[in-house]
Amino acid sequence: MLEHAEVWRAIDRLAEQNGLSASGLARRAGLDATTFNPSKRKTPSGRERWPSTESLSKILSATGFSLAEFVALIGQKAGGLAMQRVPVIKSEQAADDGFFDPSGNPIGDGWNEALFPDVGDPNAYAMQISDDSLLPVCREGDLVVLSPTTELRRGDRAIVKTRENRILAGEVVRKAMNRLEIRSFDKSRQDATLVDSDIDWSARILWAQQ
């Protein structure tokens, strides 16, 4: 069950992640500076007072956070899971030039951002699935968090961009010194065997958010 204190703590965390106090967050959202003060979290009689949906909508709009990201803050316990903002790109854009450096790290404009639990890779990014290439693992609209710096091993789930600007998604069957075999998630597509010269970049799938 959602607890009153958890929602208010999430508002405080949202303010902190934007370098603001609760009062500063309220002002940025065009609200009265006292909207989120501790004195406003209970009525004079001591009854718990919840933030209004209008005030929540305004602070999310002012900070660029989504509702899903705010919910993640609600679930973050004090001293618990650290959060990380990562760049986000649509999978249909990933095959285009200008979004990745030669090592597969995100560069350039055209990226959005999303909040995820800290995955331990400062170069991690997320890809929003815009087709059925990851079925049945992920569906259109899902987000997958990828690590371009983690070495691929047998059994890992990965996404690979080829020199021919194709995006492949599947399970690593074998990783040799200069050879990568990928079993496609999509059973209607053929498995792929690639050598290093075929690969533009590769990234391990760390986890998916539906």
Q: Per residue of the chain (210 residues), give pLDDT as tens.
A: 567 888 898 899 888 877 789 999 999 999 999 999 988 898 888 888 889 989 999 999 888 887 777 877 776 654 555 677 889 998 888 888 889 988 888 998 889 887 777 777 888 998 888 877 666 777 788 888 899 988 898 888 899 999 998 888 889 999 888 899 999 887 777 889 999 999 999 999 887 765
Residue range of the domain that includes 101:
83-209
Tell me the two tokens of residue 186. Answer: 């999509």
Omega cis (within 30) before 38: no
List all residues 6 or more positions away from 198 whose beta carbon is below 8 Å from its beta carbon. 162, 163, 164
Residue 66 and residue 135 in one domain: no
Among residues 24, 59, 75, which one ends one of the domains?
A: 75
Residue 37 and residue 122 in one domain: no
> Is the Cβ–Cβ distance between 51 and 10 less than 8 Å?
no
pTM: 0.61
Residue 61 belongs to a domain with what CATH number? Answer: 1.10.260.40
Alpha-carbon gap, residue 150 to 40, rounded angstroms: 46
Residue 96 and residue 58 in one domain: no
Alpha-carbon gap, residue 136 to 127, rounded angstroms: 16
Give how many domains the chain has, as a whole number.
2
Residue 27 and residue 113 in one domain: no
Name the DSSP letter for residue 153: -
Integer-rounded Cα Rg, in Å, for the chain is 21
Residue 176 and residue 140 in one domain: yes
Residue 87 and residue 151 in one domain: yes
